[in-house]
Amino acid sequence: MTGGKKCVVCKIIGLLAGIGALNWGLVVLAHVDLVAKLLGDMTPAAKAVYVLIGLAGLMTVVSAFIHCCPCQKGECKTS
């Protein structure tokens, strides 16, 4: 991430992590799992979304210490 702007990779990671955070907030506050409600309880599609959100969360934590690959290589395209 350069100059406070984010590359496309970082934006996607942030979006997925945000969706996961909102889903967990709904689970705690309203007892509603939006992913399960939209895609079914533990269907392959729901599992794929959970995996993507988990990876995005992990990458968000890692990005607190290092930049994403495009940013490291100086190929960060901000838009």
pLDDT for residue 75 is more than 80: no
Position 28 in a domain = yes
Exposed, middle or buried: residue 76 (CB in 10 Å: 0-12, 13-18, 19+)?
buried
Structural domain count of the chain:
1
Position 54 in a domain = yes
Q: Work out the number of other CB atoms within 10 angstroms of the CB of residue 4.
A: 6
Exposed, middle or buried: residue 10 (CB in 10 Å: 0-12, 13-18, 19+)?
buried
**Dihedral angle, C-alpha 14, 62, 51, 4, nearest 10 °:** 10
Q: What is the pTM of this model?
A: 0.74
Position 3 in a domain = no
pLDDT tens for each residue of 28-73: 999 999 999 999 999 999 999 999 999 999 988 888 787 766 666 6
Position 2 in a domain = no
What domain range is 44 assigned to? 8-72
